[in-house]
Amino acid sequence: MATENDIVLVYMEGSPVFFARIEAIWADVKRDWFNVELLVLQIPVKVVVWTLKDIYINGTEFFMGGKRMRIEVVNAPHQNFITDDDEDTALKEPVTHLKSVKKPKPESESEEKEGGRVVSIAAFQKKKKDNQSD
């Protein structure tokens, strides 16, 4: 059964319509029915509350406004991440799925330090002043 904080995909007439996160589930006044608060992940984000039976929350098709609907829990695909324990294996196998990103060269008034750039305030203000005068 889908539970709070699960991400679900909502289908209408057999086609996926939107993703949502289940914010809360609580019993309705009608026996065997539940209120399901969904945070609809679209622009703009909105919250809706649907009153559903538990079988509908579990993925059984139902009708809403004459349209065939279904809720399906989305499970993240399994990813193989390299950990410190896998370091020996990682050195033997080349990583082919990552793109190489070129690091920009530092400007003359800045210097490389621990993977970041340190820019002097005076150089920044001079550059800003030069750009405004153009």
Question: Cα-flanking dihedrals φ and ψ of residue 54, to 5°?
Answer: -60, -30
- For residues 9 and 19, the answer to whether their CB atoms sit within 8 Å is yes
The residue-averaged pLDDT of 48-61 equals 94
Q: What is the pLDDT of residue 112?
A: 47
The model carries a pTM of 0.57
Would you say 46 and 67 are in contact if contact means Cβ atoms under 8 Å apart? no
93-117 pLDDT per residue, tens: 555 555 545 555 555 544 445 555 6
Phi, psi of 69, rounded to the nearest 5 degrees: -125, 160
Question: pLDDT tens digits for 59-98?
Answer: 999 999 999 999 999 987 777 666 665 555 555 555 555 5
